[in-house]
């Protein structure tokens, strides 16, 4: 398994994500006005959902310090940190650091990226193996993972290449930096979910689904707060954005319910066994 130092760095990243996410999600108007680049309050609250969800992902990985179990949320934590800071570096010419929040956001994301680089060095050194864990996953768990990757890629690719800038699925116009930040978030999800297309173990599925529900729920809440910005009559594609996150929650809940149902008979049988004298 990865070292205790990497585990501490993961806890640190969870804390950094939580601080950024709380500011963006709880005070989107203030965060938008004080961000390091031009964003709307809706974008700020949505990004807050990313970071708060990312904090739960990192916490899930750190508290279950077993590579066979936690590799998917840990991969998301690493990919999200590096991709988001990479987008900012690529668009550094439009950044401005004239507010404390903009500076703090950039420092926090930079620290999480540095923690990721140190963690990746540990991974290269230890090369932990993925062993079966948590019982067998059903075939449809792999099918859902593949469907998720394909659907999210549909959103991610146009954002990353800059051909999607809002106005269809997203209700407002996005700057190129913001569009690529969205794309980076979606790409991090794709990278972390890809191993589940081939995993026959249930433990990594559960490790991804639990924080995934929290993340998707926060993003849906942000959309509901700003639901007035959607015009579903003339731009019905906006339903895809909300619907995709609700479908993700539904799929994750189904997997958790399946796991619970599979283990309940076993637990009942063990509880009904007579005690040996």
Q: Give the pLDDT score at 272.
A: 47
The answer to the question of residue 75 being in a domain is yes
The answer to the question of residue 69 being in a domain is yes
Stretch 199-220: mean pLDDT? 96
The answer to the question of residue 103 being in a domain is yes
Residue with tokens 């972390």: 192
Average pLDDT, the chain: 93
C-beta separation of 46 from 181 below 8 A? no
DSSP state of 96: -
The answer to the question of residue 277 being in a domain is no
Question: Range of 230's domain?
Answer: 4-272
Residues sharing a CB contact under 8 Å with residue 269, sequence separation 6 or more, in sequence order: none
Task: Tell me how long the chain is.
Answer: 277
The answer to the question of residue 158 being in a domain is yes
CA–CA dist 21, 205 (Å, integer): 24
First CA to last CA across the chain, in angstroms?
41
Range scoring the smallest mean pLDDT among 130-139, 212-221, 247-256: 130-139
Stretch 156-165: mean pLDDT? 90
Q: Give the pLDDT score at 275.
A: 44
The answer to the question of residue 150 being in a domain is yes
Stretch 4-23: mean pLDDT? 98
C-beta separation of 61 from 206 below 8 A? no
Residues sharing a CB contact under 8 Å with residue 107, sequence separation 6 or more, in sequence order: none
Structural domain total, the chain: 1
The CA-based angle 190-191-196, given to 5 degrees, is: 85
The answer to the question of residue 100 being in a domain is yes
């Amino acid at each position: 398994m990865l070292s205790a130092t990497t585990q501490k760095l993961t806890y640190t990243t969870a804390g950094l994500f939580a601080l950024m996410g709380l500011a963006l999600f709880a005070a989107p108007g203030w965060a938008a006005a004080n961000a390091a680049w031009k964003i709307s309050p809706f974008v700020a609250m949505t990004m807050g959902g990313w970071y708060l969800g990312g904090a739960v992902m990192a916490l899930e990985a750190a508290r279950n310090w077993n590579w066979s179990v936690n590799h998917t949320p840990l991969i998301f934590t690493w990919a999200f940190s590096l991709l988001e800071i990479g987008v900012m570096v690529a668009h550094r010419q439009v950044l401005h650091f004239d507010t404390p929040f903009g500076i703090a956001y950039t420092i926090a994301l930079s620290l999480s990226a540095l923690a990721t680089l140190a963690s990746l060095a540990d991974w290269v050194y230890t090369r932990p193996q993925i062993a079966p864990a948590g019982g067998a996953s059903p075939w449809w768990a792999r099918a859902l993972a593949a469907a998720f990757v394909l659907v999210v890629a549909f959103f991610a690719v146009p954002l990353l290449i800059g051909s999607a800038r809002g106005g269809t699925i997203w209700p407002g116009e996005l700057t190129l930096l913001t569009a690529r930040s969205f794309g980076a978030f979606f790409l991090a999800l794709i990278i972390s979910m890809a191993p589940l297309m081939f995993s026959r173990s249930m433990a990594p599925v559960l490790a991804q689904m639990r924080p995934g529900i929290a993340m998707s729920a926060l993003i849906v809440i942000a959309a509901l707060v700003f639901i007035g910005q959607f015009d579903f009559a003339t731009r019905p594609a906006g339903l895809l954005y909300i619907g995709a996150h609700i479908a993700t929650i539904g799929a994750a809940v189904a997997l958790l319910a399946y796991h619970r149902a599979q283990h309940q008979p076993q637990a009942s049988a063990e509880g009904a066994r007579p005690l040996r004298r």
